[in-house]
């Protein structure tokens, strides 16, 4: 008999088996993210499963965030680009959603947000202002290199001629990446995610996480977190120091990540989410990947309109301007305390 239950540790093996075999899951459906978010932010998780005769038929990872003014939000999933329901049928999707809505109402949360790759017929309000780019890889990186437009190849060559080099490692590289990441986020006017988040990701997925550093001599001028899972390479966070942009560090960083994917047997490179026609959208588009529309779906409980919790929202304009003026030490101290209240 099919039943919807809340996840507990005794189901971990079954959950991972389902994730391993299902073609619809994303990297966000790995059970390890539950521990990452609890350890990093203290978020309460409400992971749901559809079980029939001790076999999982559907999963729904969901996290409760205490937002600004302690208003609760249910997100599937925060920080990472993906989430939502993964089930064997439309009927099971609907059952999982119904149970999730019960949690939302019980906690008097403002809304439920599902970061779905594929739109579904669940009748939810949907926001489609974000996409990702997926680049198919081949075992021979030279084939990918030749497919790039001349502008991309020239930017990578410029980085190399300028003396930039790439170093790919693990946790020992993290503090160097975070130093660059924190400064770049301050310059963008956005509170930075805490160091503990990235450390917990590496410790939870040690074999599937790499840190890329771009160096000019001994100075680290760029870096990225690279996640490896199933058949793809995924870059959820990347930054370079603005004062070194003229050397094209981001171009070298992404090329080396793509080359790593080719040489290590991965089939796809996922550039991570961007808003349509944004600066990052245009940067990622030039690499020739296929645009993949993302469908962020919402159940609205105590609000009437889909929330706009992003830096492009005009009401955040003054806050962004002021944040950019903060000393880096101040921004990096208070940033993680603030951003954990946002999805």
pLDDT of residue 129: 92
Beta bridge partners of 25: none
Residue 4's Cβ-side half-sphere holds a number of Cα atoms within 13 Å equal to 21
Segment 273-301 shows an average pLDDT of 95
pLDDT at position 311 is 62
**pLDDT value of position 180:** 98
Rounded to an integer, the average pLDDT of 209-235 is 97
Q: Are strands 55-60 and 2-6 parallel, antiparallel or unpaired?
A: unpaired
* CA–CA separation, 27 and 41 (whole Å): 20
Around 335, how many Cα atoms within 13 Å sit in the side-chain half-sphere? 29
Tell me, which fold does domain 2-130+295-303 have in CATH? Aminopeptidase (3.40.630)
| Mean pLDDT of the 308-321 span | 75
The pLDDT, as a whole number, for residue 316 is 72
* pLDDT of amino acid 310: 66
The residues spanned by each domain of the chain are 2-130+295-303, 138-266
Encode the chain in three state secondary structure.
CEEEEECCHHHHHHHHHHHHHCCCCCHHHCCHHHHHHHHHHCCEECCEEEEECCEEEEEECCEEEECHHHCEEEEECCCCCCCCCEECCHHHHHHHHHHHHHHHHHCCCCEEEEEECCCCCCCCEEECCEEEEEEECCCCHHHHHHHCCHHHHHHHHHHHHCCEEEEEECHHHHHHHHHHHHHHHHHHCCCCCCHHHHHHHHHHCCCCEEEEEEEECCEEEEEEEEEEECCEEEEEEEEECHHHHHHCHHHHHHHHHHHHHHHCCCCEEECCCEECCCHHHHHHHCCCCEEEECEEEEEECCCCCCCCCCCCCHHHHHHHHHHHCCCHHHHHHHHHHHHCCCC
Instruction: Determine the Cα–Cα distance for residues 136 and 290; give it in Å rounded to an integer.
Output: 8
| pLDDT of the residue at 292 | 94
| Averaged confidence pLDDT in the chain | 94
Is the pLDDT confidence value at 69 over 80? no
How high is the pLDDT of residue 49?
97
Architecture of domain 138-266: 3-Layer(aba) Sandwich (3.40)
Q: In terms of Cα–Cα distance, which of 66, 34, 70, 27 is closest to 49?
A: 34
User: Are both 2-130+295-303 and 138-266 of the same fold?
Assistant: yes
Q: What pLDDT is recorded for position 312?
A: 63
Contact between 115 and 296 under an 8 Å Cβ cutoff? The reply is: yes
pLDDT at 313: 64
Judge whether residue 309 has pLDDT over 70: no
Task: Give the mean pLDDT of 90-94.
Answer: 94
């Amino acid at each position: 008999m099919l039943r919807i239950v809340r996840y507990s540790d005794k189901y971990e093996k079954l959950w991972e088996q389902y994730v391993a075999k299902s073609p619809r899951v994303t990297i966000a459906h790995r059970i390890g993210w539950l521990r990452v978010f609890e350890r990093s932010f203290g978020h309460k998780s409400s992971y749901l499963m559809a079980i029939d005769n001790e076999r999982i038929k559907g999963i729904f990872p969901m996290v409760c965030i205490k937002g600004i003014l302690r208003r609760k939000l249910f997100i599937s999933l925060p920080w990472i680009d993906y989430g939502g329901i993964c089930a064997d049928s439309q009927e099971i999707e609907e059952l999982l959603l119904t149970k999730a809505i019960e949690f939302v109402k019980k906690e008097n949360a403002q809304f439920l947000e599902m970061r779905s790759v594929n739109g579904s017929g669940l009748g939810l309000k949907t926001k489609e202002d974000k996409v990702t780019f997926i680049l198919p890889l081949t075992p021979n990186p030279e084939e990918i290199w030749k497919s790039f437009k001349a502008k991309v190849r020239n930017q990578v060559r410029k980085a190399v001629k300028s003396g930039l080099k790439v170093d790919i490692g693990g946790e020992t590289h993290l503090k160097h990446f975070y130093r660059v990441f924190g400064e770049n986020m301050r310059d963008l006017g956005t509170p930075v995610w805490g160091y503990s988040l990235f450390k917990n990701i590496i410790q939870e997925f040690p074999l599937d996480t790499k840190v890329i550093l771009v160096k000019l001599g001994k100075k680290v001028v760029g870096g990225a977190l690279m996640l490896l899972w199933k058949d793809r390479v995924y870059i959820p966070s990347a930054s370079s120091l603005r004062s070194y942009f003229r050397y094209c560090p981001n171009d070298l960083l992404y090329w080396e990540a793509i080359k790593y994917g080719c040489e290590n047997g991965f089939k796809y490179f996922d550039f991570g989410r961007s808003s349509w026609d944004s600066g990052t959208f245009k940067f990622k588009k030039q690499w020739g990947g296929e645009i993949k529309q993302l469908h962020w779906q919402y159940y609205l409980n105590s609000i009437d309109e889909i929330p706009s919790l992003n830096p492009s929202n005009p009401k955040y304009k003054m806050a962004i301007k002021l944040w950019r003026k903060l000393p880096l030490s101040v921004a990096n101290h208070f940033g993680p305390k603030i951003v954990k209240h946002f999805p």
